[in-house]
Structure 1
Amino acid sequence: MKRKFGWLGLMLALVMAVTACGGGGNKTPESPSASQAAESASPSATSSDLKAKITFLNSKGEIQAQLEEAAKTFSNDYPGVTVEILSTSSGQSPFEKASQMYAAGNPATILMLDPADVPKFKDRILDLSGEKWVADAIDNSLTKADGTVLDFPFAVEGFSLVYNKKVLDAAVGGSFDPATIQTRSDLKALFDKIEASGKKAIHVSPMDWSLGAHYMNFLYADQSSDYAQVEKFISDLKAGSVDLASNTVFNGLIDTFDLMKEYNITKDNPLSPPYEKGPEYLAKGDVGLWFMGNWAWPNIKSFDATGEYGFLPVPISDNAADYGNTQIATAVTKRLTIDKEKSTPEQQAAAKKFLEWLVYEQNGQDFLVNKANIIPAFKNITLEPQDPLAKSVKSYMSNGATVVGMTSMPADHWSKVGASMQKYMANAGDRAKLAEEIEDYWKTVK
């Protein structure tokens, strides 16, 4: 997606958001005053004027149950509004689902889209520039086009290697310190210690979105801490002038993936496990590590609600000073839009109130932070996340130890590059073939 801001700017904004929660200054408009916040803590006096049935397309399957509960809570707060939560099918992208709904003449009132998809619907969605929460969104988190605000930033998320501290404590014979893992050799030594303790080191989920959108994110983000260099690298890929076979980051990242493949609990049949096996393996202590993001906490919690978990970076070399070796990836990863093509004015008003409810009302904030375990993209929300993965993400953000979550990749990147990674994971192609397929993919991107 061609956004109006750079990825580096987004990451700086995410760090600023953390300090803003503690009262740090910035140049954006101030959050509501204490009296205003108190007034917005409960439904407004005009809530009875809202009467509509709206639909919400959810593309974050792991929070489907929480969203359905939030819809009931919102309807209790605003009795005239009914919210129906829809979902994408397994393996279906939000762009595909939203496009099908528009083709059928029945789009959802609120659509949860991936960042790269928002501009594709810009002529069919409302301008949200006048909404109250625009002033409280973290800097550079909004998708804009022609001076309008197209979306509501729904979630800040982080991803890297998730660890189960109980398993790692046993492996190292004491309290595990994540700061001890700064190189690939450090990671291998940890793998060996975990396996010596009687557990398997890691589970690598085979879904194309995990491999293509998340693991291969580091191919781009780790090229440089200078965004201009990351942008140039992608431009050069499109121009066909990058030789990945000789690229240091590519080779380092795949060397680390080879290590992960070697120690993978399902290496004998690596493409077979569904997503659900990841949280089960990790939470039950079958493995010490799982490559995934903080969105997985509700799944992990269903097996182990009281354990300690956190993130380790994905090191790509044996030089601890190399960029990427001590960082995780973070980004605003999901965005909400409101349909204007088929929705009635009453539905649009109800949808706007739902978004406002998420940001300013106690029940909405409780859903985001405590129920859905989401790190909000709004400076006024001071609720601290209670789950260990969100806490870990915020710690990396506070320390400036993040790389860019490449949310502006082309819509088919995760499926195409993910498919190439799946072949490599299953030993159906070598490194040279993987490099060739990634280069060929980028040559088709306009």
Structure 2
Amino acid sequence: MKKTKLIALMISCFMTASLVAGCGSSASTSTSTKPATDNKPVKITMLNTKGEIQTQLEDAAKAFTKANPKITLEIVPVPTGGSPFEKISAMYAAGNAPSLAMLDPGDIPKFKDKFLDLSSKKWVADASTGALDAAKVDGKSYGFPLAIEGYGIIYNKTVMTKAKIDTKTITTQDSLEAAFKKVKAAGVSPIVISPMDWSLAGHLLPIAYTNQGKNSVGTQKYLADLKAGTANLSTNKSFNGLVKTFDLMKEYNLDKKAPLDKKYENNQQDIATGKVGFWFMGNWTWNQIKAIDKTGDYGFIPVPTSNNASDYGNTQICAGPSKFIAIDKTNNDENQQAAAEKFLEWLIYSPAGQDILVNKCNAIPAFKNITLTLADPLGKSIKSYIDAGKIIPTIPNLPADHWSVLGADMQKYLAGKTDKEGLAKAIEAYWKSAQ
């Protein structure tokens, strides 16, 4: 979700020197690890593909090392918006894989031969229902779910109060436009659209896929039809509904005159300062909003794609585990693998680890044993949808280049450089050639 998007869904690679620093040295091809017994210092690295929590993970590394003096953990960042798939591919090509790799769910199966099978680990039994599914291959668990994330339309509650809007009533396209008009009448710009490809094609566009049915079966069938070239987006209700909502958002966009000029950081300012009432984004942005507005209240509304409030998606939020952490078994020796396992256990079983995950990273835990109360209003809003059973599962297996390729087409549509038919043809062409 990370994003996502997320959605950042903006690609660059680190210099070779930065890849080399701190990575595993000797390889092991075993499928399980044994505890380190030589009592020698161990250095491990973790690839972080969530730039917004880099500082928090660095603090976690320090706290972990303090509790485990023989283990040093370095957090290797990927710039916000960088492709996790391209980064980890480059590191493996260099024989320089990190001990722990934070990846998107769909990337885990692509590297399963290089990752440890984690199925027997203690935390597997404590994972929330379904939290491990996206990182399973042939029934085996290869990924540790870092957190549950969700996305939709964020609202600034102060602006909603000023405009006298009850956000619970926004369940159709007409009610969304009515809310936009009220915000505008209150002297505030209604909404801002982030132009990043990861947001447009990693989070917004997939709503057209997830709304195809009331479970992942309908979604996967439609993606298969797109890949087979038998789906016609121009006549598809879900796609047309999403585009109509996107058109509505475009009409009331703060940056309507120059929709591609703003950066992610500008949009955080827009919502946090009350310059706009709404922003399509995910709960991962809370730390940046909080840094600007320490006392404000925020929440989510779904993205309505029709004028029938009972239609699937109009009252649900997209949410699911957005990042998984895998442990390398090819470039890191058994001591490093054991140390990496120890860090994951520390993160969810120690009070210090839980505090960083929930209170510092503002993550919605993917584990039942963590009972800390969320203080983050965006996280609390997502969790309220989870508790109410109003969740649309995110798609774990989108192709790695989906947001970078189709993000450019979504940007063209946002800027008025193509029409709905052109966008539909671009999406269909992409899926026909998808690997």
Q: Which amino acid counterpart does residue 158 of structure 2 have in structure 1?
A: K
1:233 aligns with 2:252: no
Q: Which stretch shows the higher mean deviation, 60-69 or 90-99? A: 90-99
Report Cα offsets for 1:290-342 as digits up to 9, x if no partner: 10000000010010111110001111111111111111100111000111111
Please give the secondary structure, in 2, of the residue aligned with 1:276.
helix
- In the alignment, structure 1 residue 348 sits paired with structure 2 residue 337: yes
- Indicate the residue corresponding to 1:434 in structure 2: 423
Deviation, 1:405, is 1.2
Whether contact under 8 Å (1:109, 1:347) holds in the other structure is: yes
2:106 is aligned with 1:116: yes
Which residue is equivalent to 1:75?
A: 65
- Equivalent pair of 1:385/1:391 in contact (CA under 8 Å): yes
CA distance in 2, matches of 1:177, 1:406: 30
Q: 405-414 vs 140-149, which deviates more? A: 140-149
TM-score, normalised by the number of residues in structure 1: 0.87
- Tell me, yes or no, if structure 1 residue 125 matches structure 2 residue 115: yes
* CA offsets 1:352-405 (integer angstroms, 9 cap, x no match): 000001110001111110000001111111112110000000101111112121
**Structure 2 vs 1, CA of residues 381 and 90 (structure 1 numbering), >3 Å: closer, same or farther?**
closer
Is 1:139 the equivalent of 2:124? no
Match of 2:149 in 1: 157
Q: Secondary structure at the match of 2:178?
A: helix
Aligned to 1:396: 385
Distance 2:386 2:339 in 1: 34
Aligned residue pairs total: 398
C-alpha separation in 1, matches of 2:149 and 2:94: 32
Closer, same or farther in 2 for the Cα pair 1:125/1:228, shift >3 Å?
closer
> Hey, what does 1:414 align to over in structure 2?
403
Letter matched to residue 86 of structure 1:
V
RMSD between superposed Cα atoms in Å: 1.5
Which of 243, 266, 278 does residue 267 from structure 2 map onto? 278
TM-fit CA distance, 1:49: 4.4
**Residue in 2 that maps onto 1:104:** 94
SS at 1:410 equivalent: coil
Deviation at 1:243, TM superposition (A): 1.1
Higher mean C-alpha deviation, range 224-233 or range 265-274: 224-233
Q: How far does the alpha carbon of each residue in 1:253-302 deviate from its partner, in whole angstroms, 9 at most, with x for none?
A: 11110111111111111111111111110000000011000000001001
Q: Is the 8 A contact 1:47 1:78 kept in 2?
A: no
Structure 2: distance between partners of 1:389 and 1:132: 30
1:91 and 1:134 mapped to 2: Cα distance? Answer: 29
Q: Which amino acid aligns with 2:60?
A: A
State how far apart, in whole Å, the 2-side matches of 1:436 and 1:321 are.
29
Q: Which letter does structure 1 place at the counterpart of 2:156?
A: N
TM-score by length of 2: 0.89
Unaligned runs of 5+ in 1: 1-45
Please list every run of 5 or more consecutive structure 2 residues that lacks an aligned counterpart in the other structure.
Answer: 1-35
In structure 2, do the counterparts of structure 1 residues 63 and 47 end up closer, same or farther at CA, with 3 Å as the change threshold? farther
**Equivalent position SS for 2:125:** helix
Alpha carbons 2:45, 2:73 under 8 Å: kept:
yes
- AA aligned to 2:311 is D
Q: Does 1:374 align with 2:363?
A: yes
Equivalent position amino acid for 2:293 in 1:
D
Residue 42 of structure 2 aligns with which residue? 52
Contact 2:144 2:324 in 1 (8 A): yes
Corresponding residue for 2:163? Answer: 171
Displacement of 1:92: 2.2
1:189 matched to 2:181? The reply is: no
Q: Which moved more, 1:227-236 or 1:238-247?
A: 227-236
2:327 equivalent to 1:338: yes
394, 400, 403: which is aligned to 1:405?
394
User: How far apart, in 2, do the equivalents of 1:209 and 1:311 lie?
Assistant: 19
Partners of 2:391 and 2:312 in 1: how far apart?
A: 10
- Contact 2:154-2:281 at 8 Å conserved across structures: yes
Which residue of 2 is the match for residue 357 of structure 1? 346
> Are residues 50 and 423 of structure 1, via their aligned partners in 2, closer, same or farther at CA, if it must alter by over 3 Å?
farther
Local SS of the residue matching 1:96: helix
1:212 equivalenced with 2:201 (yes/no):
yes
Per-residue deviation at 1:163? 0.4
Q: 1:147 to 1:180 in 2, by over 3 A?
A: closer
Letter in 1 for 2:71: V
What letter corresponds to residue 285 of structure 1 in structure 2? G
Give the aligned residue type for 1:332.
P
Q: List, as ranges, runs of 4+ consecutive aligned residues in structure 1 with deviation greater than 4 Å.
A: 46-50
| Other structure's SS at 1:162 match | strand
Q: What residue in structure 1 maps to residue 20 of structure 2? A: none
| Aligned equivalents of 1:148, 1:397: Cα separation in 2 | 26
SS, match of residue 352 in structure 2? helix
- 1:105-153 CA distance string (max 9 Å, x none): 1111110011111111111111112211111112232222344321101
Q: Identify the match of residue 299 of structure 2 among 296, 300, 310.
A: 310
Whichever residue aligns with residue 150 of structure 2, its letter is: G
Q: Distance in 2 between matches of 1:47 and 1:363?
A: 25
